[in-house]
Amino acid sequence: MSTPHNQAMPGEIAKTVLMPGDPLRAKYIAEHYLEDAVCFNEVRGMLGYTGTYRGVRVSVMGSGMGMPSMGIYSHELYQHYGVEQILRIGSAGGISLRLRLGDVLVSMGASTDSSFARQFCLPGDFAPLADYELLSHTVEKAKELGFSVQVGNTLSSDAFYQDNPNTTALWSKMGVLAVEMETAALYCNAARFGKRAVALFTVSDHLLTGEELPPKVRQEGFDQMIRLALEAAVTFAPQEGDHGENV
């Protein structure tokens, strides 16, 4: 049955879902990469589509901005729709001089300033991590495609506009590579439900240097990230009859 945020019926969403933050980017991916894509959700404008890529059934759906939004949609996909793996694809702001504009980054772990994980009532601080097998497969697929990727710790922040001007430098000092706003919630939910998740980003701007990609170059960089996510997803895709363990 549908949820308050998703009108899809059982079976309309694939076991593998790509999740950009922007629902219009989900529409772009469905129209430019998937075959026979059908829209399964329009509730609150959070567009979702299911089609095939190289003969494998794949869905793509927006997550919205911020951890509360990602928390809702990823929870429902894992728990109510039987999704087995989610690949987040989005933009990130570089906070390490290791990164250049346009680089593709794979998030190994998601540091955060959010209290999202407190709901699990753990007696300490949870470290939200990508699924190792899916992450490793994604990195190996990048090598096969001839794409250069960076792998490391990222920051999922609740604040886009930081009042403390020292925040970026403090996280950078700890080796964090880039900042975005959703991945920690995704990784927490994947861990909670025993599912897989990995996040990929295109570095669209750099908070230390003030540089940012122009629109045309940004689009081309996003296309490389999207292709990598799709190739990794369909070559590591669970069978449609498979079911993860919900606990």
Q: Which residues are catalytic?
A: 205
Phi, psi values for residue 71, rounded to 5°: -60, -40
Q: Are strands 85-94 and 196-206 parallel, antiparallel or unpaired?
A: parallel
Counted residue by residue, the chain has a size of 247
Residue 234 near residue 53 (C-beta atoms within 8 A):
yes
Cβ neighbours of residue 75 under 8 Å, at least 6 residues apart?
A: 189, 193
User: What's the one-letter identity of residue 178?
Assistant: A
List Cβ neighbours of 184 (8 Å cut-off, separation of 6 or more).
67, 110, 111, 112, 114, 116, 117, 128, 156
Residue type (1 letter), 117: A
Q: Do the bridges between strand 16-19 and strand 56-61 make them parallel or antiparallel, or are there none, so unpaired? A: parallel
Give the C-alpha separation, 221 to 101, whole Å. Answer: 9
**190 contact partners, CB below 8 Å, separation of at least 6:** 74, 78, 86, 131, 196, 197
